Amino acid sequence: MSGPANPARGECGLRVDGCDLVLRPSFEALVAAEGELGPLFALVERAVEGRLALAELVTLFWHCLRDLPDGMTRERLGEAVVQLGLAKATPVLRALLGQILAGR
């Protein structure tokens, strides 16, 4: 890992499986997420309407990971998010979506 999340860079943190993950909505990350999930505006609309699927949330988180911890897979990240609970994952999602809409 290369340090904690830096909100000034649009980053946010998520603690899963004893690891502090840093998510950064970089251009590259968002293009990759959009390639899988479709247009980002539609993703934001689904989230606002409460129709964002768990798989979509995990996909967005996966692509925004700044550093990939050893042994971390998308499936493991998904299981960790489920264990963490949506109530704790939602603020991270809100921060990422805010960055998508507002930019840095």
pLDDT level of residue 6 (50, 70, 90 thresholds): confident
Q: Which residue has the tokens 């499986």?
A: 17
39-96 tens-digit pLDDT: 999 999 999 999 999 999 999 999 999 988 888 899 999 999 999 998 989 999 999 9
pLDDT level of residue 2 (50, 70, 90 thresholds): low
| Global pTM value | 0.90
Neighbour count for residue 89 (Cβ, 10 Å): 19
10-47 tens-digit pLDDT: 888 998 878 889 999 999 999 999 999 999 999 999 99
Please give the full DSSP string across 41-84, using - where no structure is assigned. HHHHHHHHTT---HHHHHHHHHHHBSS--TT--HHHHHHHHHHH
What's the rounded Cα separation, in Å, for the pair 13 and 6?
A: 9
The pLDDT of residue 104: 60
Quote the DSSP letter at residue 34: H
Q: How far apart are the first and last CA of the chain?
A: 22
